[in-house]
Chain A
Amino acid sequence: MSKGTIRTLIMADSQADRVVPPSGFTAQLTLFVSGAMAFLAVFALALSLASGRLADRWASELARAATLRINAPADQVAAQTRAALTILRQTPGVAEARALTREEQAALLAPWFGADLPVDALPVPQLIEIRGGEPGYDAQGLRLRLVAEVPGAVLDDHTRWRAPLVDAAHSLRRLALVSILLIGGATAAMITLAANAALAANAQVIEVLRLVGARDRYIAGAFVRRFTLRALIGAAVGMVLGMAGVMLLPEASDEGGFLTGLGFQGLGWLLPLVIPVLGAVVAFAATWAAARRTLKELT
């Protein structure tokens, strides 16, 4: 395709477009398919963004926060806490280790047991908050050393139960991206079918155009502009409806967790605007290929 071809194809030429009769069902098929696909693409895009965000957040929390619990007889708690803090400060990759104060521990328990809980009177384990650095610490090595030197220490680095979640979030994002590709492929296939049907239905028109001196590029361009425009309009409508659907989802909240975080955030709201453009590009390429093929076959 030369630069001139692309220019003629893109330039709005209403006179040239009229030479192809408006064809009912292929027009509706293209509008509907690109609309439906754009609608689905909005959700796939939202899913991929949300699962990506989730995977990132979980992964970084996982790398950082960990808790050390000291479960020891009351008279040994203070000594074991000190020993654990010493070990932690010597461990490479630990940025900060801090024993929670009684008040902080009481605050953590308050939601379950009420604010008046006498923490002192209960055998509540001492908690040590650990923040990992970059790169992180070796959890396995730390655990071994603690077993040997601080018998009451239990390292809870969230890895055990969060790592599979991060994997799940990553696979979810991969699935969403594959869905977007499939949506694009299916759109291309359907529009190719519609374009082929329109070209076949207009074989007579194409013959007349050739008899009066139209070049194949001109004839193809008339079809391509039609289908590109329809796909653009259909996809724009589908995108708007999809965005409305996403907007109606509940706000992101901690209680709702993943499901409520499904929407777009910040500049992410602009991303779906790409969908109609991509739809138009797909329709352009599909119709162009179909037209070239059909025109080569028609003698």
Chain B
Amino acid sequence: MSPIGLRRALKLHPPSGKKGDEPAGGRILIELENVGYSYGGGELLGDISVDLSPGSFHFLTGPSGSGKTTLLKLCYGALQASAGQVRGFGQDLRRLDRDQMALFRRRIGVVHQDCRFLDHLPLAENIALPLTVSGHDLSGQQENLGELMAWVGLTKRADALPPELSGGERQRAALARAVIMSPDVVLADEPTGNVDWEMSQRLLQLLIELNRMGKTILIATHDLGLIRAAKSQVQARVLRISNRRLQLAGADL
């Protein structure tokens, strides 16, 4: 599918934030301020400050176990910071109640490291799940869903169950589900984790396409090749976790 088709498909599902919300432009979408995260084993992350402004493209890198997934979880409210403050669309995530957290999650798209599908539902229904749970009538969305599935090249796999899919198919399906609500921000945790080079380039192209449409992208990856490939096409900031702190990586990447 062309970016224009994708744009059309995504525009039909405006984020479910309240009417009269601040426009995406000019406003920081996700903000971490002196965030620390500790657990029984001690401090994993400390004094992390980062802003995701609209339209930006970020990579988050660092060795395995350095806390990339943890940092993303802090961003989408699956974990609570032990210090500092995480704000999403200007709101302190800690203050959101369950319902508000649900509404917040509808405004961000997340590609989880392990994809997180419902194994008993066919792929198309898994991709449409954010629409289903937010009360959209799916019968009016078949065409858009079809375009989205074509965009990630999964049209023929619509009826397959998630356990039947290859790693690359799962990653693409996870990306399609992440963007179906047309969120302003897409957080992707190792989106090219289990796929070969060619497939990882395809996935990267999809994310770059989304960024060109104005979406904010944050990709956690330890794959430096992927970062290099992206830097030739988009202006991306590369953040590295090292010794529990976040640093802006230099031009060596």
Contact = CB atoms under 8 A, between A and B. Distances in A.
Contacts of B120: 21-22
Interface in A58-108: none
A176 B112 CA distance: 57
A18 B99 CA distance: 21
Interface in A1-35: 15-16, 18-19, 21-22
Contact of A211 (B99, B105, B121, B125): B105
A26 to B, nearest CB: 15
A205 B118 contact: yes
B177 A212 contact: yes
Interface stretch (B57-65, B132-140, B239-247): B132-140
B52 interface: no
Interface residues of B, number: 28
A268 B116 CA distance: 54
A213 interface: yes
A131 B119 CA distance: 78
B121 A212 contact: no
A209 interface: yes
Nearest to B120: A21
Of B112, B119, B120, which is in contact with the most chain A CB atoms at under 10 Å from its CB? B120
A215 B102 contact: yes
B78 interface: yes
Interface in A169-219: 205, 207-218
A210 B132 contact: no
B57 to A, nearest CB: 23
Most buried by B among A213, A214, A216: A213
Given A209-B133, A213-B133, A18 B121 contact: yes
B19 interface: no
B133 A212 contact: yes
Interface of A: prevailing SS: helix
B44 interface: no
A18 B161 CA distance: 14
Interface in B117-168: 117-121, 125, 129-130, 132-135, 138
A213 B125 contact: no
Nearest to A214: B133
A28 B110 CA distance: 36
B102 A214 contact: yes
A213 B181 contact: yes
A176 to B, nearest CB: 44
B68 interface: no
Contact of A19 (B101, B121, B135, B181): B121
Given A211-B105, A212-B105, A213-B106, A19 B118 contact: yes
B103 interface: yes
Given A19-B118, A19-B121, A212 B99 contact: no
Contacts of A205: 118
B121 A208 contact: no
Interface string B90-113: 000000001101110110001010
B138 A208 contact: no
A18 B122 CA distance: 11
A268 B24 CA distance: 66
Contact of B129 (A19, A215, A216): A19
Contact of B125 (A18, A22, A216): A18
A208 B118 contact: yes
A211 B118 contact: no
Contacts of B103: 213
Contact of B130 (A21, A212, A216): A212
A267 B118 CA distance: 49
A211 B110 contact: yes
A214 B102 CA distance: 6
Contacts of B121: 18-19
B218 to A, nearest CB: 16
A19 B133 contact: yes
Contacts of A19: 118, 121, 129, 132-133
A205 B78 CA distance: 15
Contacts of A18: 121, 125
Pick from A214, A217, A218 the residue with the most CB of B within 10 Å. A214
Of A16, A19, A215, the most chain B CB neighbours within 10 A belong to A215
A208 B102 contact: no
Contacts of B102: 210, 213-216
B99 A216 contact: yes
Interface in A109-123: none
Interface of A: 15-16, 18-19, 21-22, 205, 207-218
Given A207-B116, A216-B98, 8 more contacts: A16-B133, A18-B121, A205-B118, A208-B118, A208-B129, A211-B110, A211-B112, A213-B16
19 contacts: A16-B133, A19-B118, A19-B121, A19-B129, A21-B119, A21-B120, A22-B120, A207-B116, A209-B118, A209-B129, A210-B101, A211-B76, A211-B78, A213-B16, A213-B103, A213-B130, A213-B134, A214-B102, A215-B133
- 3 closest A-B pairs (Cβ-Cβ)? A214-B133, A213-B106, A21-B120
